[in-house]
Amino acid sequence: MGNKDYHFRQLLEMEACTNCQVCAEVCPAVAASGDGELSAVFRMKGVKDLVRSRSAFFQRLFRRETWEEERGKHFSGTSFRCTLCGNCQEVCPVGIRLKDLWLSLRQDMVHSGFYPKKIEMIRDNLARSRNVFDEENEERAEWVEDMRDAPDDGFIKERAEVVYFTGCVAAYFPLAQKIPMALAELLEAGGVDFTLLGEEEWCCGFPLLGAGLKEMFREFADHNLEAVREKGASRVIFACPSCYQMWREYYPARFRISHATQYLLELLGEGRIPLKETPLKVTYHDPCDLGRGAREFDAPREIIRNIPGVTFVELPRNRENCRCCGGGGNLEMIDAKLSAEIARAKIEEIQSTGAQAVVTSCQQCVRTMTTFVRRNKIPLEVMDITQLVLRALDR
């Protein structure tokens, strides 16, 4: 246990917090639970105290005591019950990079032995199977077989210009598999020379960072980079904003990378995906990692506006202020009830717009919102933007 998990900048940022509590007002976990201990400001005070408790200087100056087991366990609860949505960071007037801090804090909690048991499951699954669900990694591209016109090569070529990196959720979760199916069909329609990595695709590493297991991450990144290199590709595309975020921020920049929304917008601009009239009133949910994370707010909106017949209405909280769906930060694995409560607030906000469908650009958001809507028999269609474009495709 130690303060080495924090960057020097982060130790300074802890001292910069003014206790203004603006971060607590936008936190979806606080709103859904009514528990102020889940707020960034509470966590900030705790992490500052934890860091100081380890310093002999601060112990003398402020009589700080070393954290005992019970206190560490309690604090671990707030560290992992957070969706890592980054809304607190977005509004912090001091500009503290809170999301990075929460990742460092989780790593500290793991090193200190204060972490939920589920973290061990995430670690073991990834070490054993290279995907977060502990499925056979050889079956990563089996969803292709369920497509209407599945190609003989299963979309796995020896070499291609573009690699479509599917991510664990889309590869294995039946509810999310419609997304890679839709994107693959659109890429085919657009005449794109693309390939999947199949069993050579490993988890992007996001669950490892979210679980405070940064040490394991490099092996996953190195493997994926090599797998893309072997395909001779110059470009990698992602429908999953978390995979895209990982490649943008944590992988060395060896290839041109794009989120599916950016790539599809290019194809539409080149006239490679013809669209037909599709009457539907939709709203758009900005996934946290694509919106606040990658600052990509416009590409999905431009795609939606390109589809004839679609009526687009904004959510009351949109773009950088968009409310998290509850599916991020490994929260579903740690506290499924809290995740569902956050989804409830999201769905109520969507219903207030009168939209027939909510469109997003993330398989995890689709999964979280669809699960809630189905369980509660709510008449609302939840779809990924790839599914909307496929519906509008003029074949």
| Interaction site with ligand SF4 (CB under 6 A) | 17-23, 26-29, 40-41, 44, 82-88, 92, 94, 96, 98-99
Shortest approach of ligand SF4 to residue 52 CB, angstroms?
Answer: 16
Nearer to ligand SF4, 86 or 205 (CB): 86
- Supply the DSSP string of 28-41, one letter for each residue: HHHHHH--GGGSHH
Calpha distance 377→373 (Å, rounded) = 6
The Cα–Cα gap between 91 and 209 comes to 23
Reference 207, options 332, 108, 73, 30; nearest CA is 332
Q: How far is the CB of 384 from ligand SF4 (least distance, A)?
A: 22
Nearer to ligand SF4, 167 or 293 (CB): 293
Q: How far apart are CA 329 and CA 24, in angstroms?
A: 17
Q: Quick one: 17 or 322, whose CB is closer to ligand SF4?
A: 17
Q: How far is the CB of 378 from ligand SF4 (least distance, A)?
A: 23
What are the percentages of helix, strand and coil residues in the chain, rounded to 5?
A: 55, 10, 35
In the complex, minimum distance from the CB of residue 292 to ligand SF4, in angstroms, rounded to a whole number: 9
Task: Tell me which H or E stretch contains 195.
Answer: strand 194-195
Nearer to ligand SF4, 41 or 347 (CB): 41
Q: How far is the CB of 346 from ligand SF4 (least distance, A)?
A: 13
Closest to ligand SF4 by CB, 85 vs 160, is 85
- To the nearest whole angstrom, how small is the minimum distance from the Cβ of residue 39 to ligand SF4? 6
Closer CB to ligand SF4, 5 or 200, in the complex: 5
Place of tokens 């999947």: 196
Q: Note whether 123 and 132 are within 8 A (CB).
A: no
List strand residue ranges (DSSP E) for 274-317, in order. Answer: 280-284, 310-313
